[in-house]
Structure formats: C-alpha cells, structure tokens
Structure 1
Amino acid sequence: MEAVLSKTALQGGEFLIKDSRAEDIFIPEELNEEQMMIREMVRDFLHNEILPNSEKIEHQEDNISPRLLEKMAALGLLGTHMPEVYGGMQLDTNTNTLIGDALGPAGAFTVSYAAHIGIGMLPILYFGTEEQKDKYLPRLINGELKAAYCLTEPGSGSDALAAKTRADLSADGKNYLFNGQKMWISNAGFADLFIVFAKIDGDKFTGFIVERDSAGLTLGAEEKKLGIKGSSTRQVFFENTPVPVENVLGKIGKGHLIAFNALNTGRFKLCALSLGGAKYSVTTAIRYANERIQFGVPISSFGAIQYKLAEQAIRIFSTESALFRVSNLMELKKQEFEANGASFGEAELKAAEEYAIECSILKVTGSEALDYVVDETLQVHGGMGFSEEGTAARAYRDARINRIYEGTNEINRLLSIDMLLKRAMKGALDIVGPAWQVQKELASMPSFEKEEGLYAEEKKAVKDFKKAVLMVAGAAAKLQMEGKLDLKNEQEIIMNVADMLSDLFLAESTLLRVEKLAGMQGKVKQEVYDAILKVFIHDATLRMNKNGTDALASFAEGDLLRTMLMGLKRFTKYPAQNVKTLRRELADVLIAANEYAL
C-alpha cells in the first residue's frame, strides 16, 4: 500500500489503494456542542410534531405533510444545506448528516422531507441560473413552495435516458410544449414545483422547472403502496403543457448530469435517514425484549434474542462509521473547492461527485442495514410485531422502498465498480500499480512477520482485504482487456466485487473509528467497541472469501484459479473470534441501557 494520507488527500475511491489514519477521519463522537443542540432541536420537532401525527401522516389526512414541512421551514430546517444569500442556514456537511440521522425515525414523512430538500431543491442550486435560484430557492426554503422530482416513466426506470416525454418548441419560440407521463413521483399530490426531465425534439435529454399550475399538467390518483403510505405518490401527466424557455434547467441535452449528480447526494442522505430509523427500531426491539416475560424471565436474557440485538447494533455502527467518514471528506472537499473559487452550490456538487463511489456504497449498506434491523425488530416482537397495533409492522413495510429508489441496490453495486474502473482508465485513480504489486506478492513466499501494536490484527486484515479486492478486480479487468471476458455481461462478477469493496470500506471505517475512540471517552467501555470491530471483521472475512471465490470461479480455471484461490486464502486469514461471547458483551450494554446506546 502507498504512504499514509494527510487529512485532505483522500480522493474518491482511493480508500482501496491508500491507508488512512484514525486521526485523519471524523467520527460522530466528535460532534461539537452547537451541532448537538441542532440535533436536539430536530429531535424535539420529531417527538412533538411528527411522531404524534403518525396516523394522520399514514392516511394523508388534514394536509399534514405539507403543514409539517412549513413548520420545519419556520425553524430553518428546509434550508440547512442552502446558501445564506437565498435564506438558507449554510450549515456544514456533518451537521446536515446529523439532521438526517435525527429525522430517521419519521417514517414515511422522511420521503416528503428528502424529496423536497434533496432532489427537489438541489438541481436548482447546482444547475439553475441566478434568476432561477433567486426566483425559487427562497420560496422553497421558507416552505411557500414544495418540490417534486419527475424522472421515472412507465418505460424508463434505471435506464433513465430511455424516457419518452417530449418537449417541443412552440411556434413563437417562447415555450416548450410537454407531452408524456411520469410515475412514482413523491410529493406529487401537494408539490408546487416539479423538476422534470424530457427530450427536446425527442432526443436531447434535458431538465426543466415546471410549475404546478401549468396548463395541461394533471395528476393520477394516489398510488396504493406496500409501505410509505404516508408519502404522496402519483403519476404526473403532460398534455401540450407550456413551459417557458427560461425554465430550462442547465444545458440543453445535458439533463443526465442533473439527474445523476442530484442522485449522488440523495444516496448519501438516504443512508443517514436509514440509520436514524434503524437506531429507533432497535431501541423498540430492546425495550420490548426487556418487557416481554416468557418462562419467568425477560426474553432479552435469551441468547437467540441477544444475538439479534447485537447484530442490529453492529450493522448500524459499522455503516455509521463509514457515513460520517464520507460526510467529513465531502465537507473538506467542499471547502477545498470553495477556496479555489467555486460557489457554495458548485462546491457541494463537485464534492458529492468526487465521492460518488462512496455514496453508492453507503446507499446500499445503509438501506440493507435498515432492512435487517426492522426485520429482526419485528421478529423480536413475535406476533405483536405482525400486528398493526405497534410500530414494527409499519417500519418493516416502510423500509423496503429504500433498496429500490435513488437507484436500486443492484444498480448502485454495478455503479460502484463501473465508476472505480472508469476513474482508473482516466488516470484519476491508479489501481494498476497496486494490483501489480499484489500479483508480485502472490508469486513470493508469504511473510511470517507479526503485526504489532494496538489493533494490529485488524489493521492487517483490512490491508489484506484491499489486496483481495485488487487481486479479484485486477484479474477480471486484465481478462477483459485481453478480450477474454466481457464484464458488461457478467453482472454477477461485478456484484461479488462490489460486495467485497463495501465490506472493505466498512471494515476500515469501523477500525478507524474504534481506534480513535481508544483515545477518547466513548459512551461505553472500549471493550464493547472492540467487540463490535472484531465481530464485524470476523464476519467480513468470511464474506470476503465467499465473494472472492464466487467471482474467481466465474472467470478463471486451472492453474490460474488455483493460484488465485491460494492468494485469496492468504488475504482472508483474520483469526477466528468467539463471536458468541463478543455479541453477548454488546447485547448486555444495550439491554442495560434499554436503548441503542452507542
């Protein structure tokens, strides 16, 4: 591996080939007093305004979601990520990440909130003209306008560029006339403003700002959905809908830049909201397990239940470690761009684009951590979990959408590797050199020198994970260059490597956080953080070996396969851990605290 990084040197995807130091990352335990006060304000709003209205939100009664957005606006919470010049608070990335985490338990309302402040507002900030920003952003920030984002169509989902909605210039040249339909549009029922993508003359994919009262714009009925029933989801139809030419967003034919860049930030925010919801869910599981008596004792005393509670916490903690690591990297990169003359919006856009690989990883791991947590929370509740009397059933249903929107988890897995390889081909990321070093290491005798120092075995495991990913990905890329493999038609291989990459990123992020906590005063004893780290790396080692084996066996054979499998075995040698005891240590802390206490 290359030399250890300085604090601002880590570029997008470089975690694969460069080592970071604990002192160079940011962890949530470092949030300052002002940030914690903002979190408390958000939590107060959650408990005083959102959760008491859960039933109204669920049934979309009393115009509740738009009214809650207006109340959030009065507190400044719709503009925390927006420039002060438009009425925003212009808070740093870490504080905005914390706000997302605090709002996570809001269930379906998080969809209304995220669609408005994210994909509804960011395209204007990132790509709007000064006139468009001045006209719309202040009113979106103060809650006067609510936003929606219209990308998906009946024939185009993940393949967004296959959209059929047309925008044809009117005879007088003043308007584009829209014809087509959009589906699965969050906030459609109450939105005043739509970010819409259409093809000018049927081929130039372009973004537009479309106002609700435009002639010919109509809505379908509210969709009947599995979950997030409290969020408005409708189809939007356009029939000769006139949109002023000055409402073109960005450059004609460059709508894909708007769509994809807005999604980078959306994926990151989705992870924060997912983890906040997961923490709330595991707390309900812990409290129910402590209250539920069977065979004369609380079910929280049973090993099978303790396993579930501990594993829920481990998945949350590891993903959260990666989330705040990326949050701070984005903030540092944003500051760097601003120092070089970029505007606030340009800097935010470029920072999110820089860490697009990490955003895709976070979207996948955050949504899947939440899915695991709500599933096991329902299981801990038993029959009561299956009943609509409690919150477990609704949380279970609401969580499922997160693996689908903002790009399905399958698409995001494919994207993470595709973007990594594209960066390498452009010379922005040198993975060829490190991959070659791994190949040379495989041809040499293994070193029997033992690592020394704090977390020596874990540090070696993470370094070896990097070598395993480089070996598998490098071998596949080499065969593709030789014309012996077409990775475009081998999605299973890419998915294997993507999961290896995710495990590596979370393992390193968790290690760095735990190592940093060793020099701080954490919420619990250091032994508990150590237990989380050991269990995660123990399990990640097994997954790394399985995914690597599956990938290698898919494209290699004979001596090449045997050599690489031996290399994979060398790079997945973390010592076996007594995970039963380690999980029980963690569960004991959660049960004693009667909540998620990390």
Structure 2
Amino acid sequence: MTRHKGGSFLIEAAAPEDVFTPEDLSAEQRAIGDTVREFVEREVWPALPAMERHEFEHNVRLLRRAAELGLTGIEIPEEFGGLGLDKVTAAVVTENMGPGASFAVTFGAHTGIGTLPIVFFGNRDQKARYLPALASAEKIAAYALTEPESGSDALSARTTARLSPDGQHYILNGTKQWISNGGFADVFVLYAKVDGEKFTAFIVERGFPGVSTGAEEHKMGLLGSSTVQVILQDAQVPVANVLHEVGKGHQVAFNILNIGRFKLAAGCVGSSKHVLGLAARYAQERHQFGRPIASFPLIQQKLADMAVRTYAAESMVYRTAGLLEEGLAEIDPGAEDAGRLSARAIHEYAVEASANKVFASEVLDFVVDEGVQIHGGYGYMREYEVERAFRDARINRIFEGTNEINRLLVPGELVRRALKGDLALLPAMEQLQRELVTLVPPVPAGAVPLEVESWLVEAARKLTLMVAGLGVQKYGTALEGEQELLAGVADMVIDLFAMESAILRARKAVLRSGPEDAQGHVDLATAATHDAFDRIESTARRLLAAIEEGDALRSQLAVVRKLARRDPVNRVALGRRIARRVLAAGGYTVAG
C-alpha cells in the first residue's frame, strides 16, 4: 500500500490497493463483529425499555457484560488490561454496536471519548491507575467538554482551575453540560482553564470533593442514555491528574474529537444497515392493493437509495480506519512522547474524520426518514422500532461538533495544511488552471467496469479544486468570512471522498473476484458516484455564481460544462437491480 497523507485525496488519485475496505477484514475481525451483533440482539435489545425508563443499572450491567466479552478493552494496551487491537477492529465493534440505540452511546462514551484520552495522552502512572478498571468496566468513563456557554467554541470554556496553596491539588469551579454517562460515570476526562487562561485536561473522579452531577435531561431521543450536568464547586483534583500538559488541553480535546467523529460515522453505518433491514422486511410483509408494497417501484427506489448511500458511507469509514491505523501503528504507546506523536497521527486525518462524520450522520438521517416513510403511519407509532431510530438519529448531526462546524473545519484545515507546506494544494490549483486552458480528455467509452465512474472521480476532483482555487483567488485572507462558500466547498470535498472511496472499493472487489461476482459492488458504486457527481456539479454552479459575474462567470460555467459532460446513467434500472438484491437479502448487501 502507498501511504497517503491526510487530505491528499483532493489533489491525487489513490489506487484500489491503497485503501482498506470491509472485504479486507480478517476472520478474527469478522468474528468480533458477530460477537457484538449477537450481544446487541440477545442482551441489549431486551433491556432497552428499562434503560429508557432511566433504570441505568442496566447500562452498567451491560457495560460489564461487554467487558467480559473483551469489547470495552479493544483499544486499551494489553499491559493495562486491554486487547490492544487496531483501529479497524475498533470500527467493526462500533459499527455493530450502532443498532444498540441508547446503549451504543453509553458504550461509545465509555470506550471512546472517555477512555482514549488516557490511552493516548496519559502518563504511565495514569494509565496504570485507570486503564485496567476501564477495560473491565469496574469504572465507567465520561467526557466533559461542553458548557452552558461554550459548545462548538470549546476554547471559550469558563470552568477554571487554580493551584491550591499547598501545591497538591487544582481547585476546579464550573459546570459541564450534556455529559453522556454522567449519571453513573466514575471517571471524567474534563477540561478547565488553569488560572483562567491555560486550557487543560484533567482526570476527575466522581468521588473527589466538590464534584456532583445534576438531574437527568429530558431528551428527544436516546432516552436510555444518561445525560446530566457535571458541577464543580471547589472540586479538589490532584496535580497528578493533569492529563498531558498544562495549557495543552486543546491537543487532547480536538484529537479525541477527531477519533470521536470517525467512530460516530462507524456507528451511523451500523444503524443505517439496521434500519434498511427493518424497512426491507416491512415492505415485504405489508400488503396494499393486493400485493406487498415491496413490489412497487417507488418503494424499491427508496430501498436502493438507502443502500447506495450506506455503501458510500461504509466505504469511507473503513478507508479512514485503515489510514488511522497506519499512522498510529508506528507509535510505541509506552514511549514518553506517545501523546504528542499520537496527536500528530490523529490530526493528520482531521479532514477525513470530519468528512466521515458529516456524510455518515446525514446518510443515517436520510435512511431513517425513508424508513419511516416506507412504514407509513405505523412508522410514526412508538411500538415500531423505526420510530425510535428516527428520534435517536437526529443528535448525530450535533454530536462531536455540529455538521456546520465540521463543514467549516474541512476547508480551514486544508488551507492551514497548504500554507504550512504539508499539502501541495496551491500548486495543484495553479496546475489545474493551466490544464483547463487545453481540451479536457474525452469521456471513456466504458468498455471496462467503472471506467466512466473513475473518470468522473477525476472530473469531480478538478471541479472541486477549480472552485476552491477561484474562491482563494478572489477572497484571499477574507475567505474565512465567506462561510457559505466554505461550506459549499466542504460539500464538494466530502462528496469527492465518498465517491472515490466507493469506486476504489468496487474496483478492488472486481480485481479480487471478477466483474460478474462483484456486480453488486459495481452497481452500488456506480449509483453512488453519479449521485455524488450530480451534487458536486450543482454545488459548483451555485458557488461560481457567488464568486464571479458577467463574462467571467459564463467562462467558468463553460469549464464546468466541459468537465461535467457525460451520458447519464440509467438510474431507474440501476435502482431496481439494487433493490432486488436488498429485498432478496432482507437488508443491506453487496452480493452480486
């Protein structure tokens, strides 16, 4: 495999062998996925009604049961009681835990954002004191960043920390809000400003003097997860519980959020697959006008669209898992500078993490919405699972930084990387301007599977670079204030990553098993690519109208027409083929 730098998909193509796909999972990883799925179906689902009544002893019991299965220690090093497995395996666990509804949040808050800060940034003493108990779920973790007055703007936190006169403790004061697992967590990774200025991470135990929690919040969805305030009133936190370094809390917070965004996407993929299965099975059971509603083409198109978007999201998630694992695998977790190196390795793929989060959360919203529609009036009733899935899904576009914030992070991070010389983005934009003066190569005939779609990926890359380059050229340092333009460019970047991930996965499947056996991949990737390209072309036109006017606009739109020329795919026939496979499988499938 060729190692690709973060964000490089915007300026250079990857080969199928360069990406990790779900088909590359080992037998052991698949077995772990089966274990999680069985755990969710046999043990989590029966307990959901009790958890939704806030009987949180079931959340704790199930976490400890998950620990017995080894699931809470997947990413904790072996020397500290975990399994020390890779990011791909972690994605498998998170995906298959996704259908666990509220418990998936309990599990993710504990194993992910609650535990990983100590894994990546804790010193040896902190790891020895906390990780074994977190791996066994003897202690349960939570992550406390958000405050009543600071959500997306985390660095404006008002919680303060000052050193005690004897130098033994930091005295913390403030309130943290919407803390998942807060009602029963034993350990909080919590952020405060030392002397009101230095943003710092702390490991705070529930039992420390001055630490208390508020009442359970009444939420729209995820009713079976605990969400409370954490209140600090002269809370005494030992100096030894500073996590990483004083004043370097942003390194912990933002990199753990990157991991959290990637994991949230994995969970959304699992939930999307689950809801697609619910919808497909219901459509075959529900009869109207004397036949199953699954026989109606409009229902079939809904199922197909749900499958296509899920395929693209799944392809992105596992491609990103492979990238993260490559970067982190080189780091010795016991090294003194492991925290700094881990931060750098995680931050390398910040663009991909945000792209995953935005795309997958919006895929899930689309899937649950269509799932309710396929169920009709029954989808609005509480006794049908899809109703809960609809409510539960909505928070994902807010969790781990709103999708709007993540859309601004994508171009912001790309520009920062370009200005530092870490990504040759500006030379790529300049080279493209020179290329566009000449004729664009013709659309291939499509004699080879996915040949046209691979060409479309390249055309999408050029369109995205062209629009981004014109925006930089016009606005320069004032670009930061053009949020509509930045968000539109982010949409193009995200769709590019999604379509390329789908195509590379399908091409890899063709190379592995041949076009006939990989036809399911080919159809899904073809539909995903043409759908994404339509969105990219439309966004390009909209943004160019905001950048240029008159003859300059007409000239740039002519370039768009040149880059976007292609014969439309028969999306109706394609959708019917995909839907037939979904209905035959009773849910999501890539089988030919």
> How does the TM-score come out when normalised to structure 2?
0.96
Equivalent residue in structure 1 for 2:144, among 146, 150, 153 = 150
1:83-102: CA deviation from partner (whole Å, max 9, x where unpaired): 11101101122111111111
Q: Which residue of 1 aligns with 2:389?
A: 395
Equivalent residue in structure 1 for 2:224, among 223, 230, 239 = 230
SS in 1 for 2:82: coil
Q: Distance in 2 between matches of 1:507 and 1:200?
A: 45
Equivalent residue in structure 2 for 1:458, among 447, 453, 459 = 453
State the 1:444 CA deviation: 2.1
Q: How does 1:366-515 map to 2 (within 5 A)?
A: 366-448=360-442, 450=444, 453-481=448-476, 486-515=478-507
State the 1:338 CA deviation: 4.9
Q: How does 1:107-506 map to 2 (within 5 A)?
A: 107-338=101-332, 348-448=342-442, 450=444, 453-481=448-476, 486-506=478-498
Q: Which residue of 2 aligns with 1:560?
A: 552
Q: Distance in 2 between matches of 1:428 and 1:339?
A: 25
State the 1:104 CA deviation: 1.1
State the 1:365 CA deviation: 0.7
Q: Distance in 2 between matches of 1:143 and 1:450?
A: 56
Is the 8 Å Cα contact of residues 459 and 564 (structure 2) preserved in structure 1?
yes
SS in 2 for 1:91: coil
Is the 8 Å Cα contact of residues 42 and 99 (structure 1) preserved in structure 2?
yes
Q: Which amino acid aligns with 1:576?
A: P
Q: Which amino acid aligns with 1:455?
A: L
Q: Which amino acid aligns with 2:483?
A: Q
Q: Which residue of 1 aligns with 2:532?
A: 540
Question: Unpaired runs of 5+ in structure 1?
Answer: 1-6
Q: Distance in 2 between matches of 1:453 and 1:312?
A: 27
State the 1:346 CA deviation: 6.2
1:33-70: CA deviation from partner (whole Å, max 9, x where unpaired): 11111111111211121111121122222611011111
Distance 1:446 1:349, change over 3 A: closer
Q: Distance in 2 between matches of 1:503 and 1:353?
A: 21
Q: Which amino acid aligns with 2:469?
A: G
Distance 1:555 1:65, change over 3 A: same
Is the 8 Å Cα contact of residues 472 and 552 (structure 1) preserved in structure 2?
yes
Aligned residues: 589
Is the 8 Å Cα contact of residues 450 and 526 (structure 2) preserved in structure 1?
no
Q: Which residue of 2 aligns with 1:64?
A: 58
Q: Distance in 1 between matches of 2:333 and 2:264?
A: 28
Q: Which residue of 2 aligns with 1:19?
A: 13
> How does the TM-score come out when normalised to structure 1?
0.95
Q: Distance in 2 between matches of 1:333 and 1:343?
A: 15
Q: Distance in 2 between matches of 1:334 and 1:182?
A: 30
1:385-407: CA deviation from partner (whole Å, max 9, x where unpaired): 10001101100000001000101
Q: Which residue of 1 aligns with 2:584?
A: 592
Is the 8 Å Cα contact of residues 83 and 344 (structure 1) preserved in structure 2?
no
Q: Which amino acid aligns with 2:551?
A: D
Q: Which residue of 2 aligns with 1:92?
A: 86
Q: Distance in 1 between matches of 2:187 and 2:106?
A: 14
1:313-352: CA deviation from partner (whole Å, max 9, x where unpaired): 0000011111111111222222344599788766654432
55-64 or 366-375, larger mean C-alpha shift: 55-64
Distance 1:124 1:395, change over 3 A: same
Q: Which amino acid aligns with 2:534?
A: L
Is the 8 Å Cα contact of residues 177 and 230 (structure 2) preserved in structure 1?
yes
Distance 1:525 1:385, change over 3 A: farther
Q: Distance in 2 between matches of 1:524 and 1:267?
A: 36
Is the 8 Å Cα contact of residues 82 and 90 (structure 1) preserved in structure 2?
yes
State the 1:447 CA deviation: 3.6
Q: Distance in 1 between matches of 2:408 and 2:286?
A: 43
Q: Distance in 1 between matches of 2:103 and 2:443?
A: 54
Q: Distance in 1 between matches of 2:189 and 2:331?
A: 26
SS in 2 for 1:238: strand
Q: Which amino acid aligns with 1:32?
A: S
Distance 1:80 1:522, change over 3 A: farther
State the 1:176 CA deviation: 1.3
State the 1:122 CA deviation: 1.1
